């Protein structure tokens, strides 16, 4: 035989042998992580997760350890448990928080996977939780009982672009139960989002118990858009939401929208109206017709009580005062009103957030304006020293329809297909608002057209992971053509979690 024939033969035998070896997920870099991490390195082997695998945590990290165990057990059918350890064990999974910023910052983490050991080390507990989410995305969607679970080896180093990565749920237009809100929180947690803004009051409903003003929920909480029965959270239920979110490193921002969007309160208490007469409850979807009576002292007593009671239940630093679309409040009344409300919020130990209209009031040093529509308002806020949360309606509103055939949602700001929702940079979208002015990104879901969590899921998925990535991943590291391939891998995850998502034709979904 000639030498090349022998070589050829040897090559084909090797190829044949290689194709018989079972396929293991040994390339960590091929995992479709969302949000995309700063760096991923593969080392080409596998960690085998089995019933004897120990989960060890540093003292203080038990909650995140238990979260990891619960999630792993759901996927694998195993019954892994959590133990504390004072140093890195030689086998198993170990979660560790250094308490120092290091090169990756406080929220950064390093996930290292070798054949024998998986470690997550982070600056703070939030970083540790994010490392756990990355680890969970390395697992298959579902594993048959008894089948070994292989996790590709390598390492991930990661940290977020923005410290504020959020979504909003409007529980006022339609009410959502505590369990539904918890499901929404789980959606955010899976993609490393850390803020849930709850729009707790509007013309159609008042959704949080205020002990000093009980009729707000008794009357104002009794209906919703379309005339359904509405509902509200007791203070205990609200605290339960806060607690559940906190366990997932998510801060709740409560919003009481004022002076407009207040019909539910005006229907509950006649004295809040300038004419002293209670309004009728409202179940339509018009905006801009209601206003608190800005020159009555009782109005500020009311706001003082509401802000005090809600702030006492809210460990997060912010209170959202709304301030949008106050078309029935003359601007000369609006400005002193917002100024006074800002003082009330600050005296209750919270920082003010408001929709971009509040920039017309002053001063704004410790306040944040939420850009949704008006560039002039937003840049005015920046000039007055405010920070900005980017929620451009035409890009980031989760209630905008995907296209003209979408059966839920609105389209007043346009249609937002999955690519359009993803392909923008908060730091360059608005002239006069740059990276250093921006606190972060929030995707709001208004609920005029959605009545339950299945409908919420259809508008939220698959756009939410894109907003999470805009908040987490630097713009240089983001690109739709590459992102859509990673998103395509997540369709199976949505299905496994029972999420009703929109199968956009722009995404090559993996079966
Ligand atoms: C505008 S965005 C509103 C809401 C509506 C939403 C519907 C904003 C600050 N105000 O009251 O629910 O549009 O998309």
DSSP line for 46-61:
EEEE-TT--EEE-TT-
Per-residue pLDDT averaged across 320-334, rounded? 97
Per-residue pLDDT averaged across 93-117, rounded? 96
Q: Where does residue 261 fall: left (phi above 0), alpha (psi -120 to 50 degrees), or beta otherwise?
A: left
How far, in Å, is the centroid of ligand 1 from the Cα of 96? 42
Which SS3 state, helix, strand or coil, does residue 32 take?
Answer: coil
Q: Is 469 exposed, middle or buried (0-12, 13-18, 19+ CB in 10 A)?
A: buried
pLDDT tens, position by position, 268-281:
999 999 999 999 99
pLDDT-derived band of residue 6, with 50, 70 and 90 as boundaries? low
Per-residue pLDDT averaged across 306-312, rounded? 98
Q: Is 215 exposed, middle or buried (0-12, 13-18, 19+ CB in 10 A)?
A: middle
pLDDT-derived band of residue 223, with 50, 70 and 90 as boundaries? very high
Q: For a ligand 1 pocket test, name from 320, 324, 391, 448 the mutation site with the most ligand atoms within 8 angstroms of its C-beta.
A: 324
Per-residue confidence (pLDDT) for residue 65, from 0 to 100: 98
Residue 304 has pLDDT above 90, yes or no: yes
pLDDT-derived band of residue 339, with 50, 70 and 90 as boundaries? very high
Q: For a ligand 1 pocket test, name from 172, 325, 399 the mutation site with the most ligand atoms within 8 angstroms of its C-beta.
A: 325
Q: Across the beta sheet with 149-158, what order do the strands follow? A: 39-49, 149-158, 109-113, 117-122, 92-97, 55-57, 82-84
Residue nearest to atom 4 of ligand 1 (CA): 446
Report the pocket of ligand 1 as residue ranges, CB < 6 Å. Answer: 287, 324-325, 355, 372, 397, 399, 410, 446, 448
Residue nearest to atom 11 of ligand 1 (CA): 287
| Nearest atom (ligand 1) to Cα of 446 | 12
Per-residue confidence (pLDDT) for residue 371, from 0 to 100: 98
- 319, 325, 330, 333: CA torsion to nearest 10: 0
- Sign of torsion, CA 390 393 394 395? positive
Q: For a ligand 1 pocket test, name from 172, 359, 446 the mutation site with the most ligand atoms within 8 angstroms of its C-beta.
A: 446
Which SS3 state, helix, strand or coil, does residue 476 take?
Answer: helix
Residue nearest to atom 9 of ligand 1 (CA): 324
How far, in Å, is the centroid of ligand 1 from the Cα of 1? 79
| Nearest atom (ligand 1) to Cα of 202 | 11
| Nearest atom (ligand 1) to Cα of 399 | 14
DSSP for 50-117 reads: -TT--EEE-TT-HHHHHHHHHHHHHHH-----EEE-SS--SSEEEEEE-SS-TTT-TT-EEEEE-SSE
How far, in Å, is the centroid of ligand 1 from the Cα of 372? 9
Closest listed residue to residue 500, CA positions, set 447, 460, 454, 466: 454
Q: Provide the angle, in degrees to the nearest 10, between the axes of the packed helices 464-472 and 480-496.
A: 130
Per-residue confidence (pLDDT) for residue 365, from 0 to 100: 80
Closest listed residue to residue 510, CA positions, set 484, 491, 493, 496: 491
Strand pairing category for 109-113 and 117-122: antiparallel
- Rounded Cα gap, residues 314 and 319, in angstroms: 9
Residue 174 has pLDDT above 50, yes or no: yes
Residue 355 has pLDDT above 90, yes or no: yes
Residue nearest to atom 6 of ligand 1 (CA): 446
| Nearest atom (ligand 1) to Cα of 373 | 2
Residue nearest to atom 7 of ligand 1 (CA): 446
Query: Which residues carry out catalysis?
Result: 325
How far, in Å, is the centroid of ligand 1 from the Cα of 446? 7
pLDDT tens, position by position, 42-73:
999 999 999 999 999 999 999 999 999 999 99
Backbone angles phi, psi at 460, to 5 degrees: -80, -40
Per-residue confidence (pLDDT) for residue 9, from 0 to 100: 54
Which SS3 state, helix, strand or coil, does residue 421 take?
Answer: helix
Q: Is 136 exposed, middle or buried (0-12, 13-18, 19+ CB in 10 A)?
A: middle
pLDDT tens, position by position, 228-261:
999 999 999 999 999 999 999 999 999 999 999 9
Per-residue pLDDT averaged across 390-410, rounded? 98
Per-residue confidence (pLDDT) for residue 362, from 0 to 100: 79
Per-residue confidence (pLDDT) for residue 446, from 0 to 100: 98
Per-residue confidence (pLDDT) for residue 25, from 0 to 100: 60
| Nearest atom (ligand 1) to Cα of 325 | 10
Per-residue pLDDT averaged across 6-17, rounded? 51
Question: How high does pLDDT run on average in the chain?
Answer: 94
Those residues whose C-beta lies under 8 Å from the C-beta of residue 153, and which sit 6 or more positions away, are 26, 28, 42, 43, 44, 45, 46, 47, 113, 114, 115
pLDDT tens, position by position, 188-205:
999 999 999 999 999 999
pLDDT tens, position by position, 461-477:
999 999 999 999 999 99
How far, in Å, is the centroid of ligand 1 from the Cα of 393? 9
pLDDT-derived band of residue 7, with 50, 70 and 90 as boundaries? low
pLDDT tens, position by position, 120-152:
999 999 999 999 999 999 998 888 887 889 999
pLDDT-derived band of residue 19, with 50, 70 and 90 as boundaries? very low
| Nearest atom (ligand 1) to Cα of 370 | 9
How far, in Å, is the centroid of ligand 1 from the Cα of 211? 28
Q: For a ligand 1 pocket test, name from 393, 395, 396, 445 the mutation site with the most ligand atoms within 8 angstroms of its C-beta.
A: 393
């Amino acid at each position: 035989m000639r030498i090349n024939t022998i070589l050829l033969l040897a090559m084909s035998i090797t190829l044949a042998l290689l194709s018989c070896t079972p396929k293991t997920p040994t390339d960590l870099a091929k995992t479709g992580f969302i949000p995309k991490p700063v760096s991923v390195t593969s080392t080409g082997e596998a960690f085998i997760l089995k019933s004897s695998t120990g989960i060890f945590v540093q003292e203080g990290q038990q909650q995140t350890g238990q979260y990891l165990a619960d999630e792993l057990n759901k996927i694998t059918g195993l019954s892994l448990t959590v133990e504390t350890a004072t140093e890195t064990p030689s086998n198993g999974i170990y979660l560790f928080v250094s308490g120092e910023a290091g090169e990756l910052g406080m929220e950064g983490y390093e996930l290292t996977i070798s054949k024998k050991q998986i470690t997550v080390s982070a600056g703070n507990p939030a970083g540790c939780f994010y490392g756990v989410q990355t680890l969970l995305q390395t697992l298959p969607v579902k594993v048959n009982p008894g089948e070994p679970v292989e996790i590709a080896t390598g390492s991930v180093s990661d940290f977020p672009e923005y410290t504020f990565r959020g979504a909003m749920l409007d529980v006022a237009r339609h009410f959502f139960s505590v369990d539904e809100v918890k499901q929404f929180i789980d959606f955010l947690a899976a993609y490393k989002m850390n803020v849930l803004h709850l729009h707790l009051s509007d013309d159609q409903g008042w959704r949080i118990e205020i002990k000093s003003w009980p009729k707000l929920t008794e009357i104002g909480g009794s209906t919703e858009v379309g005339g359904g029965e509405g509902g509200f959270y007791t203070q205990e239920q609200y605290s339960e939401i806060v607690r559940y979110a906190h366990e997932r490193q998510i801060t709740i921002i409560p919003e009481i929208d004022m002076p407009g969007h207040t019909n539910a309160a005006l229907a509950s208490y006649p004295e809040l109206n300038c004419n002293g007469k209670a309004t009728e409850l409202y179940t339509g979807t018009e905006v801009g017709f209601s206003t608190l009576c800005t020159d009555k002292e009782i109005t500020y007593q009311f706001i003082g009580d509401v802000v005090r009671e809600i702030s006492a239940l809210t460990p997060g630093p912010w209170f959202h005062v709304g301030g949008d679309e106050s078309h029935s409040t003359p601007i000369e009344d609006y400005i002193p009103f917002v100024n006074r409300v800002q003082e009330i919020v600050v005296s209750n130990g919270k920082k003010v957030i408001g929709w971009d209209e509040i920039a017309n009031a002053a001063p704004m040093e410790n306040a944040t304006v939420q850009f949704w529509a008006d560039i002039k308002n937003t840049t005015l806020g920046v000039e007055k020293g405010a920070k900005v949360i980017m929620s451009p309606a035409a890009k980031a509103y989760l209630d905008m329809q995907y296209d003209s055939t979408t059966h839920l949602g609105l389209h007043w700001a346009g249609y937002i297909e999955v690519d359009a929702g993803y392909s923008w940079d908060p730091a360059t979208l608005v002239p006069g608002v740059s990276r250093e002015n921006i606190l972060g990104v929030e995707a709001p879901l208004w609920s005029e057209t959605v009545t339950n969590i299945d409908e919420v899921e259809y508008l939220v998925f698959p756009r939410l992971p894109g907003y999470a990535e805009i908040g987490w991943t630097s713009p240089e590291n983001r690109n739709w053509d590459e992102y859509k391939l990673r998103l395509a891998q997540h369709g199976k995850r949505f299905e496994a979690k029972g999420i009703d998502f929109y199968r956009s034709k722009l995404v090559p979904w993996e079966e």
